[in-house]
Chains A and B, each alone.
Chain A
Amino acid sequence: MATMTYRQALRDTLRDEMLRDENVFVMGEEIGVFEGSYKITEGLLTEFGPRRVRDTPIAEEGFVGAAIGAAMLGLRPVVEIMTINFSLLALDQIVNHAAKIYGMFGGQCNVPMVIRTPGGGGQQLGATHSQNVELFYSFIPGLKVLAPSTPAEASAMLRAAIRDDDPVLFLENLALYNTRGEVPDDLEPAEIGRAAVTRPGTDVTIVAYSRMAHVAAEAAEKLATDGISAEIVDLRSLRPLDRETVVESVRRTGCAVVAEDDWLTYGIGAEIAATIQEGAFDWLDAPVRRVAMAEVPLPYSKPLELAALPSAESLVTAVRDTVRATGR
């Protein structure tokens, strides 16, 4: 057991997997000589050389597509897209190709690749660099979408993603890279498609993922001092979605609030709310609430940015309202 940052957990796992399997290689913008925009690939070029740590031109559609093609011939590329905002330039390759090749050709060829990319606002990066568009990929059958919130999960889930035979969108978050946590030495790959109850509680279920799982934990601490016992479900996998774990929790608590970093309308929370009404209708004592980003292009100026992003305070307010609405 070692304590390390989310960044270190990712880096160590990449290295382990490259040592384990010659077919695993990494590619992306600035990942070699520059050692990654967020230093996830630090030291890898020196250790493995340019064949296995490939710097690419600024051409997301091109290099993501090239990774898909390499995966079709049996390699296991791990592609870094500098931020999820830039993945939009590769949307055609991810949605129309990576996600389709296995089915479209009748199961003759699979695409064992991972796309690692961070989302996240709150860094004053302005409208085009602060989005959370994991929904686009979570919508697509054929893709798997993972969103770990702790260093241990990041390690176990990246391991699973690399060894999986399907294309995996691996969502990181700028605000999580420096967070610390314990990572067991002999960590097994995670099971893809499984959510976790990360904090048991009895009064209300908070459903969250990625950065919002931390916001939820902070909110739950505050709520506990008010005598409200919140249970947290960390989704961890956005596709497939572990509906059972969500619904089981809500059947115990009788109400739910979804905490999401994306926009509310049509967002991940909308799918969770729909799942809850279908799976726990008779158990619900209050409407499902969603705490999500304000529906604006995220502004640069700090007070505006802070006002737009969901926070522990905003989550506490929504949870209190929801518990009050149950009339208990």
Chain B
Amino acid sequence: MGDTRTRTPARRARTRKARPEPETLVAYYRQMLLIRRFEERAARAYTEAKIGGYCHLNLGEEATVTGLMAALEPRDYLFTNYREHGYALARGIDARRVMAELYGRSTGVSKGWGGSMHMFDLEARLLGGYGIVGGQLPLATGAALAVSYKGGDEVVMCQMGDGTTNIGAFHESLNMAALWDLPIVFVVVNNGLGMGTTVEASSAEPELYRRASAYRMESARVDGTDAVAVREAAREAVERARSESKPFLLETTSPRLRGHSVVDPARYRTAEDKEALKAADPLAHFALELEEAGVLDAETREKLDAEVKAEVDDAAAFADDSPYPDVSTLFDYTYATPVRGESRRLPADPVF
């Protein structure tokens, strides 16, 4: 039987954290910077109508994304929700392919079939961004079941937003994962808001990590603006899942710097809220912290800025220059096993 205790969050995790090497810290900073600039570029491209549909950004979650991905091995699997551009980048997928997916081009990670919410790459073991809230939880649980069935040592990480903790699939999945001792780490990225509804207004237990106790699952909350703290907390959960085949629920807290999606002006936020957000910017914090620690000087920062800007510009140019999928491929992905009688008609075509 599992242990019902939950660990005290944030501050203690911070003080216990191991001190990474300076070059690792700089690499994390660069990763966060790349996500920031990529997302800003995506927002711009959206207003230029180069990107369609919904577009949810990781702005404010850069430290969380970087810390979580640093805790995974290349062989581990990742399932995410629809706010996943940063995860794709941090899993090592070329920014060009991520941007091309946003542009709906055939060179995109999902060949232009998925868009912003549905990034997938087998090699990076990103097994999908999912647009339906909570939809990825049963799938990730099943992936962990498959790992366990095959006797593998991979771990599945399943990311979600705070609003997801209220949907039935969350509870069904945590129950099965605990019941069957599956190697999975559920991560709740708590940015305080499900679209415009606060966690307090939607969750009878707003300390979301505590919900794990209902399944005798261990859990913790960590400051999601601190990449190293997130990495340490996630690494502990991931390695425990790997060595003991036990699930874990990790909650990270971080601000959502903009609206729910690109088109949301976030009018439900007060002026004070908006001021507080500026102060909570994890990228600015991290830059300051590294500068004070003598790890990142102004010159290196400028160099990284230029590098990342060039990478994002290149990604956007690549996406812009890439072809759209050919209309003749419209019926290529309905079935993996071709089947007699499969419809290939266009809207005005007769059935006979």
Contacts and interface: CB of A to CB of B under 8 A. Distances in A.
A254 B338 CA distance: 32
Interface string B258-294: 0000000000000000000000000000000000000
Nearest to B151: A51
Interface stretch (A3-11, A103-111, A224-232, A299-307): A103-111
**A: interface residue count bin:** 35 or more
Contact of A66 (B122, B142, B147, B336): B142
Contacts of A61: 138, 168-169, 172
Interface in A64-122: 64-75, 77, 92-93, 96-97, 101-110, 112
Interface residues of B, number: 50
A112 B179 CA distance: 25
Contacts of B118: 104-105
Contact of A165 (B108, B173, B336, B341): B336
A72 B110 contact: no
B145 A166 contact: no
B173 to A, nearest CB: 6
B146 A69 contact: yes
A279 interface: yes
B350 interface: yes
B227 interface: no
A66 B141 contact: yes
A139 to B, nearest CB: 12
Contacts of A107: 111, 113, 332-333, 336
A194 interface: yes
A275 B352 CA distance: 9
Nearest to B138: A65
Nearest to B176: A62
B273 to A, nearest CB: 33
A102 B350 contact: no
A28 interface: no
B135 A93 contact: yes
Interface in B143-165: 143-147, 149-150
A70 B335 contact: no
B140 A247 contact: no
B114 interface: yes
A213 interface: no
A140 to B, nearest CB: 10
A144 B172 CA distance: 26
B93 interface: no
B114 A102 contact: no
A237 interface: yes
Interface stretch (A29-37, A238-246, A315-323): A238-246
B25 interface: no
A63 interface: yes
Nearest to B130: A97
Nearest to A163: B337
A96 B146 contact: no
Nearest to A59: B172
A142 B113 CA distance: 14
Given A62-B172, A104-B113, A72 B341 contact: no
Given A62-B138, A63-B176, A109-B120, A70 B143 contact: yes
Nearest to B121: A108
B340 A65 contact: no
A97 B131 CA distance: 10
A78 B77 CA distance: 23
B135 A70 contact: no
A68 B138 contact: yes
B169 A103 contact: no
A186 interface: no
Contacts of B141: 62, 65-66, 69
Contact of B336 (A75, A106, A110, A191): A110
A70 B120 contact: no
B25 to A, nearest CB: 34
A86 to B, nearest CB: 13
Interface of B: 77, 108, 110-114, 118, 120-122, 127-128, 130, 132, 135, 137-147, 149-150, 168-169, 172-173, 175-176, 179, 332-337, 339-343, 350-352
25 contacts: A61-B169, A65-B137, A65-B169, A66-B142, A68-B139, A68-B142, A69-B142, A72-B146, A75-B149, A92-B135, A104-B114, A105-B120, A106-B108, A106-B112, A106-B113, A107-B336, A144-B335, A165-B335, A165-B337, A166-B335, A193-B342, A240-B339, A240-B343, A242-B341, A279-B351
Given A66-B176, A68-B138, A106-B113, 20 more contacts: A59-B175, A61-B172, A65-B138, A65-B139, A65-B172, A66-B141, A66-B173, A69-B145, A70-B142, A70-B143, A72-B143, A73-B146, A73-B147, A97-B138, A97-B139, A108-B122, A191-B340, A193-B340, A193-B341, A237-B341
